[in-house]
Chain A
Amino acid sequence: MTPLELATADGARIAPSNASSAFDIQGMTVSYGQKPAVFSVDMSVPKGSMTAIIGPNGAGKSTLLKAALGIVTPLAGSVRVFGAPLDAGRAKIAYVPQRASVDWDFPTRVLDVVLMGLYRELGLLRRVRKGHIADAMDCLKRVGMEDFADRQIGQLSGGQQQRVFLARALAQKAELYLLDEPFAGVDAATEAAIIDVLKSLKDAGKTVIAVHHDLSTVPEYFDRVFLINTTKVAEGPVGTTFTEANLQTAYGGRLAGDQFGNAAIGG
């Protein structure tokens, strides 16, 4: 099934009434200027799974996530979260943006960043109580950052910044976690800590979707893959979908052959 066959003239499509689906994207097309960055992409992620979004640089991995969350406005496409429209399902989503997307010299402490995760609960005016702070500290503990609660965020290393972002997402007590390159430029200890947290989320029945760039760790970290290069290349369980043929299609000649052999199933 090629993605082009999925596109219809008017873009109208009937969402699959899949009750066990956590996150559905239908016909997502995003364009910066005239050239589509993401073209007519469908995605269907079952509840309780861990999915890696992979593809070459500039393939639209991050853009797909951002468009699905309404951070950038798509040209076309719809999103359903646990069967409900996006805005009804927002409370169930926690998003972890790319670490480099913010200015870390912002005047705020680690704990304050985590407390941002409670915004939906706190609203405009409700006061931050001891219970909220205890919740936030708990999330910091889960990523091993409880000793840094009072630190100014500018003093953190890259890996520590990433953990704080993850703690903020945990504070939202979401059902669906969308992470944009959570392992980019972090130290080995942080990578291990993050994957531990993500696996514990999965064990608790949560759904995890992460943009990922390191092909060698895909089978170890994730149970599903989603390959994209502007259009969708393939989606499914790692065992059947993370194949040399699919990687070849997604990456073209941009990876050396032996890298496929190391990473892909049956390579």
Chain B
Amino acid sequence: MLWQALGLGLGYNATLVTLGATLLGIAAGVTGTFLFLRKRALVSDAVSHATLPGVALAFVIMVLLGGDGRSLLGLMLGSAVSACIGLLCISALTGRTRLSEDAAIGAVLSVFFGFGIVMLTVIQGMSAGRQAGLESFLLGSTAGMLFSDAVTIAAGGALVLAGVVALRRPLSILAFDPGYAAATGMNVARLDLAIMGLVMAITVVGLKIVGLILIVALLIIPPVAARFWSEKVTGVLWIAGLIGGLGGYIGAALSATAPALPTGPVIVLTLFAMFALSMLLAPARGVLAAVIRHLRFQKQVHLRQGLLALAQGQPIYEKLTLRLLERAGLARADGVATEDGKARAAKALRDEHRWQMARSREDFALAATYYDGLTEIETVLTGDQIAELDRLIGAPKGVPA
């Protein structure tokens, strides 16, 4: 069943939804990247909640104009207008009062959402129009998605994607260094508005599939997951698009396998699974890699300290050090150095003296900056330079047995 779904073999509606969700996921992931890099992820939450009154008002207006109030394009337009007003409220609150942005976001989000819910309840009591199902904009609903809906979503997503790709250069500079961006003559306020406009567009486009409460997940989880895999803006951008697209595709296909599974939430859970995998397994920034790196580093430190202690005839009290030395064949369980251990210990001590000499001499100042107690001196200095250090130190000292 799942394989059938992934192969788009579950019928017309499921195929439409899956393709729409994939495109939406790509566009949302890419757009969300700059939101994330600009550290304004929460604004998207306020924007999405602020769409609700617009959806309700658009429905009322369309009914008053004699329609049935269910045109997706009309509802999207309405939601865009109220999201805009919400955005303006946030920037007015932060710009003209002493409120911080998070407080402004909290206020706008809850008030707009509350107003929207009131409007929805009122509409439920209206006799005109086909109000049933309007509340599906909260969590998305893909049952009965039309081909025209899918085309609207695809076209909107593609437009937003093109916008982000075109603006990626100034947006990267702005996200990294807003002061520099302003000094170069970029209009920072307008660029920030552009990001928000694109985010708003994604929210509006995504209302039908994931709904306004969960759209923030499509914007934020992909870049956050992608950040684990890449150290470049363009890398994060494309990987976020990939993760978003995969999440949309797999999530929609999964939800199509059982009639009771809601599409939006399943997509979000799929994205979360990819985030969790990224966090654990990513090679450079992942949690497992960090743990392994830490353990390896700890081992290195203990071995080096143990060798220096052996070389200077000091007793080793730390059990971990002893165990590591023993396992490396450098010492016996009672802390006495093996032949191999003696040689290595002597070398460690000699290198330590060389480093100390290098650090005390101005002509080695640059090399001395590499000293961290672990770096092998041969990787920093040439044989001639080490010989020069040895000459400065004097005759090699004996190692106490």
Which residues of chain A have a CB within 8 Å of any CB of chain B?
66, 69-71, 87, 90, 93, 95, 97, 101-103, 106-109, 112-113, 116, 119-120, 122-125, 152, 168, 178, 187, 189
CB within 8 A of A107: which of B179, B231, B365? B231
B183 near A70 with CB under 8 A, answer: yes
Q: Does B177 contact A (CB under 8 A)?
A: yes
Provide the B155-173 mask, 1 if CB < 8 A to any CB of A, else 0: 0000000000011011011
A101 near B169 with CB under 8 A, answer: no
Inside 8 A of A112's CB, which chain B residues have their CB? 232-233
B183 near A108 with CB under 8 A, answer: no
B169 near A122 with CB under 8 A, answer: yes
B169 near A119 with CB under 8 A, answer: yes
B166 near A124 with CB under 8 A, answer: yes
A90 near B185 with CB under 8 A, answer: yes
Closest to B366 in A: A189
A116 near B173 with CB under 8 A, answer: yes
Provide the B84-108 mask, 1 if CB < 8 A to any CB of A, else 0: 0000000000000000000000000
Q: How far is the CB of A67 from chain B (nearest CB, A)?
A: 11
Closest to A157 in B: B369
A102 near B231 with CB under 8 A, answer: no
A97 near B236 with CB under 8 A, answer: no
Inside 8 A of A102's CB, which chain B residues have their CB? 176-177
Inside 8 A of B148's CB, which chain A residues have their CB? none
Provide the B231-251 mask, 1 if CB < 8 A to any CB of A, else 0: 111011000000000000000
Closest to B166 in A: A124
B179 near A97 with CB under 8 A, answer: yes
Inside 8 A of B185's CB, which chain A residues have their CB? 87, 90, 120
A189-B179 Cα distance, complex, nearest whole Å: 27
User: If the complex has contacts A119-B184, A189-B365, are A108 and B179 also in contact, measured as CB distance less than 8 A?
Assistant: no
Can you report 23 A-B residue pairs in the complex whose CB atoms are below 8 A from each other? A70-B182, A87-B185, A90-B185, A95-B180, A95-B183, A101-B179, A102-B177, A106-B37, A106-B233, A107-B231, A107-B232, A107-B236, A108-B232, A108-B233, A109-B232, A112-B233, A116-B172, A116-B176, A119-B173, A120-B184, A122-B169, A124-B166, A168-B180
Provide the B334-372 mask, 1 if CB < 8 A to any CB of A, else 0: 000000000000000000000000000000011001000
Closest to A87 in B: B185
Q: Does B230 contact A (CB under 8 A)?
A: yes
Q: How far is the CB of A246 from chain B (nearest CB, A)?
A: 29
CB within 8 A of A97: which of B166, B180, B235? B180
CB within 8 A of B179: which of A71, A125, A187? A71
Inside 8 A of A123's CB, which chain B residues have their CB? 169
Inside 8 A of A107's CB, which chain B residues have their CB? 37, 227, 230-233, 235-236
Closest to A172 in B: B184
Q: Does B399 contact A (CB under 8 A)?
A: no
User: If the complex has contacts A97-B177, A119-B170, A124-B169, are A71 and B183 also in contact, measured as CB distance less than 8 A?
Assistant: yes
